[in-house]
A and B are shown apart, each in its own frame.
Chain A
């Protein structure tokens, strides 16, 4: 999208006006400062997705659009999880973080904060693996996606 004020609002407004749901959304400038890249996750039938794609393309701020799920692609999401980490639990949590290739980035007597990156289902699995009562806070970044191989979203 054009890196202009209001571009994000236009996309969000389009979804809400037409009753489509945004599951997650992330946006940031690209290597070209006049352009920003938004990755948006939504769910729907083929007809709905086709309509969403067409409506997005209509927006003047949207320069180019690609449906990542059209081909093989990589999804990455980041998560920060604060967990209660007292006594015996500390070892257990450290082991779990290692298994998932996460990193502990903050430590107190009471808590660890773990940083984890991966596809959405890996992050879901990590949260599942944790004991419910142990989770203090979770913050997820939203999914970023890029296609595999030579296929690219660029001008």
Chain B
């Protein structure tokens, strides 16, 4: 049957099982919007800024494991989406972004609302496609989803000129796609796996350093089993929180620049480091020369380019994390492998000593609201079971430190790019995927203003997101750096002319609350959680000059933390 490009587009999305498409219309995509109007299998969600469309699709993808789908128009629509695409790229999130483009005969002509979408997004996508013939459209869409969701996931942009959406072609959606130049490795090398298991047996001070890759690879189960059998300490990166249950006694906390004392010290003093689905990011390693000076390093990752990129590793294993961990478990169970119980007893004693420093302590008697207290209370009253999205800054670090995630895909934040404005639209995406769940967006008064217009989207679709605004009147993280490293020269880190957030929320038809006293925090959160069907904007006026501890300063090694 002959269909227009726009109809082929919609039918292809249906074939891919796409539930939601987040977008904003424009001239170049009008035919597509017309085709979307005529059906109801794929639900289009209208945002208020294309950046929010990408972050919403991102939040959807992170919380479900399914690819997020975006539709924006040409020119400014596509350029507005770049930040969100780069955000997904840095965290390896599966996403397919469809951008409109001017008709093919106008490409390169400086036409109205024309931008070189392929050229602009090339450095921040896993791959991109420009469709030049309507007969290629269905196959291109199939390839786009395949590339976005396999191997190391990532965003894929498909640029579709307007005339392609009007041209007609026979539609048949390909069953399978094979790309000769793209064959992600799935199974780890048996020899390397055996070597790694041997190291598990002989390690005296081992540690499991696990990251976002475990969550992307759905490998929490095997990871937890492995850690329990071996009795190894486990640490997560910011992106890996929830991959291992945080309430378990073997969890030593997040590591890195604002990680716990015990996690960083254990990393620094370990003799065998098992890196699983993590990429030795600079926020984790501190000064590279000082990183893990005595460790033999095993690295499991699906992307060969991540291995030995920053830190030379001794036992590299390329493969899907889930497969590799299962193979390790088979090896362990099959050969009755045990860890060194005597050595580990001593290691755990040392770790408990480090834990006794209580590095996350804060002043619980303060008259001002401490942001850590808000997060602790949120954790308690949600039973640790909510979805928590975050913006970027001090509030993000406190959320990571104080909300103990026991499950993967609950903690949704922009780690790699660190995009302010991510929190609210991402929460929207999560809420669409999990309509009955409690979705909390932890934010600051700087970040929340970057995509504040999405309060309107939340109203339109009745999204009962709970916004936890930690309002200290400063760009907190910047202020902290200026206090520590710039002799308190607070340049442009003071937030003035703030709106009355309660009135602002109410003007969008939501519930707003302002909390100024510590004694009112718990009651306010209880009330917030009772309002199951409403978006609630909680404006917590917090201590102005609280700092995030511990902190590894620039140039510092993991054992050179600044403590409170």
The residues of A with any CB-CB pair to B shorter than 8 Å are 1-2, 5-6, 9-10, 13, 17, 47, 50-51, 54-55, 57-64, 155
Could you say which of A17, A51, A62 contacts B309, with CB atoms under 8 Å apart?
Answer: A51
The residues of B with any CB-CB pair to A shorter than 8 Å are 118-119, 122-123, 126-127, 130, 147, 179-182, 303-305, 307-309, 312
Contact A50 B308, CB 8 Å, known A9-B122, A13-B123, A17-B123? yes
Instruction: Please indicate the chain A residues that have their CB under 8 angstroms from the CB of B127 in the complex.
Output: 60
How many whole Å from A49's CB to the nearest CB in chain B? Answer: 12
Instruction: Please indicate the chain A residues that have their CB under 8 angstroms from the CB of B118 in the complex.
Output: 6
Question: Are B122 and A51 in contact (CB-based, < 8 A)?
Answer: no
Instruction: Please indicate the chain B residues that have their CB under 8 angstroms from the CB of A13 in the complex.
Output: 122-123
Residue in chain B with minimal CB distance to A5: B130
A-B contact pairs, 9 of them (CB 8 A): A6-B122, A10-B122, A13-B122, A54-B304, A55-B305, A58-B305, A59-B181, A61-B181, A63-B180
Q: Report Cα–Cα, A1/B307, bound state, in Å.
A: 24
Tell me what chain B mostly uses at the interface: helix, strand, loop, or mixed: mixed
Instruction: Please indicate the chain A residues that have their CB under 8 angstroms from the CB of B123 in the complex.
Output: 13, 17
Instruction: Please indicate the chain B residues that have their CB under 8 angstroms from the CB of A54 in the complex.
Output: 304-305, 307, 309
Residue in chain A with minimal CB distance to B147: A60
How many whole Å from A85's CB to the nearest CB in chain B? Answer: 43
How many whole Å from A154's CB to the nearest CB in chain B? Answer: 12
Instruction: Please indicate the chain A residues that have their CB under 8 angstroms from the CB of B181 in the complex.
Output: 1-2, 59-64
Question: Beyond the given A13-B122, A62-B181, could you list 7 further A-B residue pairs with CB under 8 A, ordered by the A residue number?
Answer: A9-B119, A47-B308, A54-B304, A54-B305, A54-B307, A57-B305, A63-B181
Instruction: Please indicate the chain B residues that have their CB under 8 angstroms from the CB of A62 in the complex.
Output: 181
Instruction: Please indicate the chain B residues that have their CB under 8 angstroms from the CB of A59 in the complex.
Output: 181
Residue in chain B with minimal CB distance to A62: B181
Residue in chain A with minimal CB distance to B119: A9
Instruction: Please indicate the chain A residues that have their CB under 8 angstroms from the CB of B126 in the complex.
Output: 60
Contact A60 B308, CB 8 Å, known A6-B118, A9-B122? no
How many whole Å from A109's CB to the nearest CB in chain B? Answer: 44
Instruction: Please indicate the chain A residues that have their CB under 8 angstroms from the CB of B305 in the complex.
Output: 51, 54-55, 57-58
Residue in chain A with minimal CB distance to B305: A54
How many whole Å from A11's CB to the nearest CB in chain B? Answer: 11
Instruction: Please indicate the chain B residues that have their CB under 8 angstroms from the CB of A64 in the complex.
Output: 181
Instruction: Please indicate the chain B residues that have their CB under 8 angstroms from the CB of A55 in the complex.
Output: 305
Instruction: Please indicate the chain B residues that have their CB under 8 angstroms from the CB of A9 in the complex.
Output: 119, 122
Instruction: Please indicate the chain B residues that have their CB under 8 angstroms from the CB of A51 in the complex.
Output: 305, 308-309
Q: Report Cα–Cα, A51/B130, bound state, in Å.
A: 28
How many whole Å from A121's CB to the nearest CB in chain B? Answer: 32
Contact A60 B182, CB 8 Å, known A47-B308, A51-B305, A54-B304? yes
List 7 tightest A-B contacts by C-beta distance, closest first: A54-B305, A63-B181, A60-B127, A17-B123, A54-B304, A60-B182, A55-B305
Instruction: Please indicate the chain A residues that have their CB under 8 angstroms from the CB of B312 in the complex.
Output: 47
Instruction: Please indicate the chain A residues that have their CB under 8 angstroms from the CB of B303 in the complex.
Output: 58
Instruction: Please indicate the chain A residues that have their CB under 8 angstroms from the CB of B130 in the complex.
Output: 5-6
Q: Report Cα–Cα, A155/B179, bound state, in Å.
A: 13
Instruction: Please indicate the chain A residues that have their CB under 8 angstroms from the CB of B309 in the complex.
Output: 51, 54
Residue in chain A with minimal CB distance to B309: A51
Q: Report Cα–Cα, A109/B308, bound state, in Å.
A: 60
Q: Report Cα–Cα, A53/B437, bound state, in Å.
A: 45
Residue in chain B with minimal CB distance to A58: B305
Instruction: Please indicate the chain B residues that have their CB under 8 angstroms from the CB of A63 in the complex.
Output: 180-181
Instruction: Please indicate the chain A residues that have their CB under 8 angstroms from the CB of B307 in the complex.
Output: 54
Residue in chain B with minimal CB distance to A6: B118
How many whole Å from B2's CB to the nearest CB in chain A? Answer: 27
Question: Are A155 and B304 in contact (CB-based, < 8 A)?
Answer: no
Residue in chain B with minimal CB distance to A60: B127
Contact A60 B179, CB 8 Å, known A9-B122, A10-B122, A51-B309? yes
Instruction: Please indicate the chain B residues that have their CB under 8 angstroms from the CB of A58 in the complex.
Output: 303-305
Residue in chain B with minimal CB distance to A1: B181
Q: Report Cα–Cα, A10/B307, bound state, in Å.
A: 22
How many whole Å from A15's CB to the nearest CB in chain B? Answer: 11
How many whole Å from A74's CB to the nearest CB in chain B? Answer: 26
Which of A2, A47, A60, A64 has its CB near the most chain B CB atoms (within 10 A)?
A60
Which of B118, B130, B181, B308 has its CB near the most chain A CB atoms (within 10 A)?
B181
Instruction: Please indicate the chain B residues that have their CB under 8 angstroms from the CB of A6 in the complex.
Output: 118, 122, 130
Contact A57 B304, CB 8 Å, known A13-B122, A62-B181? yes
Q: Report Cα–Cα, A33/B123, bound state, in Å.
A: 27
Q: Report Cα–Cα, A9/B179, bound state, in Å.
A: 20
How many whole Å from A139's CB to the nearest CB in chain B? Answer: 28
Q: Report Cα–Cα, A55/B304, bound state, in Å.
A: 9
Residue in chain A with minimal CB distance to B304: A54
Instruction: Please indicate the chain A residues that have their CB under 8 angstroms from the CB of B304 in the complex.
Output: 54, 57-58
Residue in chain A with minimal CB distance to B118: A6
Residue in chain B with minimal CB distance to A56: B305
How many whole Å from A83's CB to the nearest CB in chain B? Answer: 40
How many whole Å from B187's CB to the nearest CB in chain A? Answer: 18
How many whole Å from B491's CB to the nearest CB in chain A? Answer: 29
How many whole Å from B313's CB to the nearest CB in chain A? Answer: 12
Q: Report Cα–Cα, A5/B303, bound state, in Å.
A: 26
How many whole Å from A66's CB to the nearest CB in chain B? Answer: 14
Instruction: Please indicate the chain B residues that have their CB under 8 angstroms from the CB of A57 in the complex.
Output: 304-305
How many whole Å from B334's CB to the nearest CB in chain A? Answer: 32
How many whole Å from B311's CB to the nearest CB in chain A? Answer: 11
Residue in chain A with minimal CB distance to B152: A58
Residue in chain A with minimal CB distance to B180: A63
Instruction: Please indicate the chain B residues that have their CB under 8 angstroms from the CB of A5 in the complex.
Output: 130
How many whole Å from B23's CB to the nearest CB in chain A? Answer: 25
Q: Report Cα–Cα, A55/B123, bound state, in Å.
A: 12
Question: Are B122 and A155 in contact (CB-based, < 8 A)?
Answer: no
Q: Report Cα–Cα, A17/B125, bound state, in Å.
A: 13
How many whole Å from A5's CB to the nearest CB in chain B? Answer: 8
How many whole Å from A42's CB to the nearest CB in chain B? Answer: 16
Q: Report Cα–Cα, A145/B127, bound state, in Å.
A: 28
Q: Report Cα–Cα, A101/B90, bound state, in Å.
A: 53
